[in-house]
Structure 1
């Protein structure tokens, strides 16, 4: 569940994806590390049972399988160390709990993951933490939101549903010594490395692109500094975080093909988003790679590619139109998850300039894009 990574010279990301976390001398030459399922660890002596005396103490605190995953994630994100956790949301909440205490303030992006916002508005507020908000496209608002009690900044990049983008290095410069925590699930380390832009902590839902097959629940946090890693590690142990070896193994398996899958997701999403942007039933597509998107310049300056998730607004679109469109889909599934090999759609609430609207979020999978266009076209024409 925990691992410290000692970075060597940087290697090409495609090479890292296929080699990181593979210690051949440790598993008899087999390509993949074995899956260690276990709770109890046996020791050779009384003295070895003391905390810290042996590398592995109890299964909940980590196994060679989870260490292999954490080693790989730390190298991929150019971090000092990584922690695997039971879900992406668990990674978010554990990190925030480690940084925030009664009387502190957390500055969170308005376009952050809805479940993370509910955690901040609910549990953290009940624990005496003040929650402040800012918009990613309002640097003046961000600067005004920082106080001498701000203990952390949290954001998704790009923002969830709105897909707004800021220049992370500029935001970090304004934050100064305040730790900036970035959720990088959408882009993955294949397309973006927030630590290179000054982030202190990078979060992932490994259930999404890294797992890639919609068959596991797992999360992770990667740290630029060992002190932050140790702080969060201690909290994760106190709250009982645990990662199953099978889920860790599925995430490792997903890493090996991440490059080819992300390239396909990116190409297909650009194809579908561009086509939808010109569709008579669509008012606007929110996807930073589109040249007309308001976050395009900031995306282009920092990212080498993009995840395949975006949101579109229907013309005259109210929730009834979105319902009709989603119910009219055949090939494309209806579901809340994203980042798997299959294309799925769900309703999404967008807020811009204080106005909330319901749109349709699409996670573009690995299907043939012509098949996806036909399915979407039939569903959208049913809204007219």
Structure 2
């Protein structure tokens, strides 16, 4: 009989018969053990499909990745620590020194920053193209263009892009297309169905849904690209903890319900703001009358709770007064959770002034409307 101190070291890995839980188990691991030398020496061969090391995945990781692939309508998904890490992963896998990448002028700021600093340092050139260029994007292609970034709607200005047209133009030149689809999720827009090669999203936002995790994902239907993404993620040292995977899995069952409620509330709030005397510009593509409503109506199935606007009193003291008067919209920089938020940012050049971004949570819409009405009244 071995000593108790030895027996305590042995993993308690048995799952009792009959334990059929609705909740995914959380499996923590760094070291994975193997039954013999041959399987140990060939452990990397199963890194994409089985278990070789904790960084490569546990049952909790695979459960989330498989659910996200199902949400995307098929293919494969790689999990990364943040939404920005998803952008860095795609660039790192595809681009080498001498390559050229295109980004729209409304792209997520950190994606632009990493491209023009880190990747420029590594010999990758980038160009900015007009957000609404459509098929005209072909004029921006160079002989070494390898990737086109898209984001629609943009998370601040809510500007949209003609994704199918851009995809067709890029693919005609054997150029890959990646889309940041965090705004809509695959419930609102199936990017891979539209021909996009890589669909990324910050799971921090709507998938997590409760403002308590950081994670990103890259989905693709190209199996070879999936393996290359996995290999690149390992080289970058990207690792997602199983506890965060569990939180994302917890958020998925209510994703559709939350989006439907937040979308319905955001539509009412957008209509209210659009007609309010204090508002200079309202940006929400699902709302009829928005500049990009025709694209949203053609391509998208569901909206969300994110919108933006500018005030006629476009100065910082007025904005500070308005924000201070809000009681239910908390000042915070992220979005996608159940709580209503407001953020303030300078307009992107060539526009000037300030942009206010609302994220509409799941609070009762009448309460949120009353909160906005009270705050706007302070500007009279």
User: TM-score w.r.t. structure 2 length?
Assistant: 0.91
Over the aligned positions, Cα root-mean-square deviation in angstroms equals: 1.6
CA contact (8 A) 2:150 2:163 kept: no
Q: 1:164 aligns with which of 134, 142, 159?
A: 159
Aligned residue number for residue 92 of structure 2: 97
Q: CA deviation at 1:30?
A: 2.2
Unaligned runs of 5+ in 2: 1-16
Cα distance, 1:356–1:143 mapped onto 2, change above 3 Å: farther
Aligned residue number for residue 145 of structure 1: 140
CA contact (8 A) 2:262 2:362 kept: yes
CA contact (8 A) 2:345 2:356 kept: yes
Task: Map Cα deviations across residues 101-135 of structure 1 (whole Å, 9 max, x no partner).
Answer: 11111101111111111111211111111111112
Matches within 5 A, 1:12-23: none
Q: CA deviation at 1:53?
A: 5.3
CA contact (8 A) 2:203 2:248 kept: yes
Q: Matched residues in 2 for 1:120 and 1:151: separation? A: 14
Q: 1:369 aligns with which of 361, 365, 372?
A: 365
3-state SS of 2:149 partner: strand
3-state SS of 2:342 partner: strand
Give 4+ residue runs of structure 1 displaced > 4 Å after superposition.
Answer: none
3-state SS of 2:175 partner: coil
CA contact (8 A) 2:262 2:360 kept: yes
Q: Say whether 1:191 aligns with 2:179.
A: no
Q: CA deviation at 1:316?
A: 3.7
Cα distance, 1:324–1:140 mapped onto 2, change above 3 Å: farther
Aligned residue number for residue 347 of structure 1: 344
Aligned residue number for residue 379 of structure 2: 383
Q: 1:252 aligns with which of 243, 249, 253?
A: 249
Aligned residue number for residue 75 of structure 2: 80
Q: Matched residues in 1 for 2:246 and 2:115: separation? A: 31
Q: Say whether 1:59 aligns with 2:54.
A: yes
Aligned residue number for residue 269 of structure 2: 272
3-state SS of 1:345 partner: strand
3-state SS of 2:348 partner: strand
Aligned residue number for residue 8 of structure 2: none
Q: CA deviation at 1:358?
A: 1.2
Task: Map Cα deviations across residues 6-58 of structure 1 (whole Å, 9 max, x no partner).
Answer: xxxxxxxxxxxxxxxxxxxx995322221101111111111121233552111
Q: Say whether 1:215 aligns with 2:198.
A: no
Cα distance, 1:114–1:309 mapped onto 2, change above 3 Å: same
User: TM-score w.r.t. structure 1 length?
Assistant: 0.90
Task: Map Cα deviations across residues 319-351 of structure 1 (whole Å, 9 max, x no partner).
Answer: 333222222211211100100000000113333
Unaligned runs of 5+ in 1: 1-25
Size of the alignment, in residue pairs? 358
CA contact (8 A) 2:151 2:161 kept: no
Q: Matched residues in 2 for 1:357 and 1:94: separation? A: 34
